[in-house]
Amino acid sequence: MLRYANVYGARQDPKGEAGIIAILCEKFLAGGHPKIFGDGSQTRDYVYVKDIAAVNHAVVDSWQPGTYNVGTGLETSLNEIFSRIAERLGRSTTPQRLPANAYELSRSVLDASLLRSTWTLPAWTSLDEGLDHTVPWYRERAPR
């Protein structure tokens, strides 16, 4: 079993409650004020979709039974994600702050050491590189 961290990339549907990178891109590009629940310090482990594809490709031919985390092991706060996307889109919008969601985890990060010790995989795509590939895709498709 493969357990994925927060996967992001082009073509992610921004209409759900998950996929914060897609959601923020859409809100910024529509001229809105994206919402942040709580103080924005909650963290997630963001994995670029190209890396998910590489993992799936690597394990399909030589599966080893077990449960494997697929994550970078790096935590990034929602405030940081907000800032990095705003910067790439040239926006100075401030978030709409809402009360914290009592059911939301404050931290989510995965240890993928078992995955990496079982298969030879390329290095994870950095968050900045992944965003550099993702944000323009949403910009090109935004209504004008």
User: Confidence class of residue 143 from pLDDT cuts 50, 70 and 90?
Assistant: confident
Q: Tell me, what's the pLDDT at 16?
A: 78
| Per-residue confidence band for 30, with pLDDT thresholds at 50, 70 and 90 | very high
DSSP at 90: T
Reported as a pLDDT band with limits 50, 70 and 90, residue 140 is very high
pLDDT at 11: 94
Please give the pLDDT value at position 43.
Answer: 98
In sequence order, what DSSP letters do the residues of 6-73 get, joined into one string?
EEE-TT--TTSSS-HHHHHHHHHHTT---EEETTS--EE-EEEHHHHHHHHHHHHSS--SS-EEE--S
109 CB-near residues (< 8 Å, 6+ apart)? 5, 43, 44, 45, 71, 73, 74, 75
Predicted pLDDT at 126 = 98
The whole-model pTM stands at 0.93
3-state secondary structure of 79: helix
Domains of the chain: 2-141 (3.40.50.720)
| Helix and strand element counts for the chain (H, E) | 5, 8
Q: If you count them, how many residues does the chain have?
A: 144
The pLDDT of residue 141 is above 80: yes
User: For 58-116, what is each residue's pLDDT tens digit?
Assistant: 999 899 999 999 999 999 999 999 999 999 999 988 899 999 999 999 999 999 999 99
* For the chain, percent of residues with pLDDT exceeding 90: 88
Indicate the average pLDDT of the chain: 95
Query: φ and ψ at 37, to 5 degrees?
Result: -85, 125
Mean pLDDT value across residues 108-128: 97
CA angle 107, 71, 47 (to 5 degrees): 95
